[in-house]
Structure 1
Amino acid sequence: MHRDKDHDHGNRVVTETGNSPDTTVPIVVYTLYLAGVVTGGLTALIGVVIAYVYRGKGPYWLDEHYRYQIRTFWLALLYFAVSGLLTLVMIGFVTWLLAVVWLVVRCVKGLKGLQEKRVPDNVETWLF
């Protein structure tokens, strides 16, 4: 199979010729992350393992989704751990809610990027 790729990191434009890759696995990872909110992070742990396994096996724009997912997992772990510590001073409940909103926004942005077959916005950011 022959594939041509054009990468413009500034505009996040990716042009592919040939068969379009299956986006089912990264969709499942984003869904597992969202389910992690109610499973105490168990499904998110499964999701990050999947992201690590599939990273580097697809076109550039899809690999960037796996990188985004891996970063999202580790940042979420940090944010939820800090929120857990902050519950000792009663502000942790607010920061936990903010971390949930942050996670949902990142997952929705990632899913939107997958739907458009492009790199997620702001892969390197600690925010959205």
Structure 2
Amino acid sequence: MTTQDPGSNDADFGQTVHSSLVSLTQIVYILQALGYLTGISYIAAVIVNYVKIDDVRGTWLESHFRWQIRTFWYSMLWYLLGALTFFIFIGYLLIVFTTFWVMYRIIKGWVRLYDNKPMYV
């Protein structure tokens, strides 16, 4: 079974992709969301991204993979800065802000995936 991106006018992103790749992208969003319960699933999500990136290259799903990878690395940076400065109030704020930012990116990406739309990265 294949899925066509109806909302994209870009020739690179308008091609047909296999539904298993859409399912894989959804699984990565699930793993990222589960990262709040088990941190290891957040790491597993980015590993899946790097292992399977070649399979989605040139499709509209590549933008989701880039979105997911950037979410991981930027969140790690901001969580690290928050942890290093936790004992001054700014660290606590960084951790709270980063948590909401990651939730926003997971939800936004998942909704656009459901709508068969590429991410704007």
Specify the TM-score bucket, using the shorter chain as the normaliser: 0.7 to 0.9
Report 1:82-121 matches (<5 A). 82-121=81-120
1:70 is matched with 69
Are 1:36 and 2:35 matched, yes or no? yes
Following superposition, the deviation at residue 87 of structure 1 comes to 0.4
Measured after TM superposition, the shift of residue 84 of structure 1 is: 0.5
Counterpart of 1:8?
Answer: 10
Residue 50 of structure 1: SS of its match in structure 2?
A: helix
Q: 2: CA distance between counterparts of 1:66 and 1:54? A: 9
Q: Which has the higher contact order (CA 8 A, sep 6+)?
A: 2
Cα RMSD for the two superposed structures: 2.5
The farther-off stretch of 102-111 and 51-60 is: 51-60
Say if 2:25 and 2:64, in contact at 8 Å, map to a contact too: yes
How many angstroms apart in 1 are the aligned matches of 2:13 and 2:45?
25
For 1:60, what is the secondary structure of its paired residue? Answer: coil
Find out whether 1:21 has 2:32 as its counterpart: no
Q: Which has the higher helix share?
A: 2
Name the TM-score, length of structure 1 as normaliser: 0.76
Name segments (4+ residues, structure 1) moved above 6 Å.
Answer: none
Which segments of 5 or more consecutive residues in structure 1 lack a partner in the other structure?
124-128
